[in-house]
Amino acid sequence: MSRTAKTLLALFVLLLATGLVAQRTRSRLSDPEHQVERKGGLRDFHNAVYYPAVAVREGVNPYDSDAYRAHYPVRHFPLYSPVTLALYFPLGMLPRGIAEVLYFAAGIAMSVALAWLALHAYGARAPAWRLLALAAVILVSRPGQQNMMNGQSTLQVVIGVVLALRYGSERPWVGALGVVLGTLKPTFGLPLVLLMAARGQFAALARGLAVALAIAVLVLGYLTLQGGGVEALVDSFSRNLARHGDHPNTNLETTYSRIDTVFLVSRWTGWIPALKAQFVIAFGLLAVAAWTVYGLRSRGGPEHGPNTLSDVTCYLAILSFLYHQSYDLLFLAVPLVALIASGSGTWGRPGPASNVTISGPRVRALLALAWLAPLFNFAATASGVRVLGTGPESRVLLWRAVTSLNAVLVLCTFAVCVLLARRATPPAAL
């Protein structure tokens, strides 16, 4: 088949995938004024993108859950970075219907952008047909559909993290842009900052944090003036965090969609750790990741920069950190492409930094399956759980297995990356 024919076929598949996701979103589109339980289309967009921007425009503090819900037909605005309120503020100036269409279109564009980034960042050959095909796969994957149908804001954060980690050493301002986007959600931002520091990407990190902090100070200063002072603002953050932990999708007893290590420990032990204990588990795992990527950096020499294994270890550590949901599994498209791109079995960028070999096709195949399976695991969903007849009160073993599969695969492949890093040898001299 000619390259032109492949491109046209891939474009058709992408348009088909876009139409499928658009139709599913439209059929389930939620009306914030008349919320129906099973109609959750773009609900996250309403709760965490559009109405927070409207609230800022109208002088309401969206972090104050009581005031936010009193003024708008919403559920909850999580403790996202104040930068999100500035980023989405233009959408809050538009009628809701127009804002919905624009945000959905932006989601399609960001899916293509993530596909391009995954291909180009790790040296894969990226003809147009391959880019379009990968974008279609991202859209129809389980996390891809969740992001588009719910109106989640994960795509831009994932793109930011990849930019920060991949380009933070070579192009500090590109990495800084990645830091600004990657810290929109604290469950991504906290581990990203610590891991970049361990990798020595200080220029990009400092620039990105400076920009994000400047924007955040302006936004929080405005909210403080509008909302009764600093004490009221801090109190709204505290109450917001408490309410977040009670949501069925984040609650350790009821969730079927979390993928982090704290959730995995709780699901199989029955232990519901206090918040301090959750932080100990999460930051303990992060310490292992930081030690691993620091070791790769020190053995490879700062002139070589972080290699692909270091990047992938960071991606998996972030997913395992704390309060991550199945829609965050979009991350796995990146290490999967990196694995396929390294056709010889060597993980690294072109040149002497390519120093970590994956031993044998079996290991490569197992890693590929371990990252592919969560992208298409439709069992750990509300519909899947209903079909299987599982739940926390019935068929407990099956419930645990189905709902924890994604977390198990993420954590196990993280452990594999740590072991591979221990076997890494310094790159050959130039």
| DSSP codes, 121-149 | HTT----HHHHHHHHHHHHHSHHHHHHHH
| pLDDT tens profile 141-179 | 999 999 999 999 899 999 999 999 989 988 999 999 999
215/226 Cα distance (integer angstroms): 17
What single-letter amino acid sits at 11? Answer: L
Q: Between these two residues, 132 and 121, which has the higher pLDDT value?
A: 132
| Whole-number pLDDT of residue 121 | 80
Q: Which residues of 91-100 are buried (b: 16+ CB within 10 A; e: fewer)?
A: bbebebeebb
Confidence (pLDDT) at 304: 36
Q: Using alpha carbons, list the distances in angstroms from residue 321 to 243, 255, 267, 330.
A: 20, 16, 16, 15
Most confident residue range from 162-166, 337-341, 359-363 = 162-166
Percent of the chain predicted with pLDDT > 70:
80
293: three-class secondary structure by DSSP: helix
Taken in order 284, 286, 288, 290, the sign of the CA dihedral is negative
| Cα dihedral 51, 52, 58, 59 in deg (nearest 10) | 160
pLDDT at 362: 77
Number of other residues whose CB lies within 10 A of the CB of residue 170: 13
**pTM recorded for the entire structure:** 0.89
Determine the Cα–Cα distance for residues 15 and 227; give it in Å rounded to an integer. Answer: 46
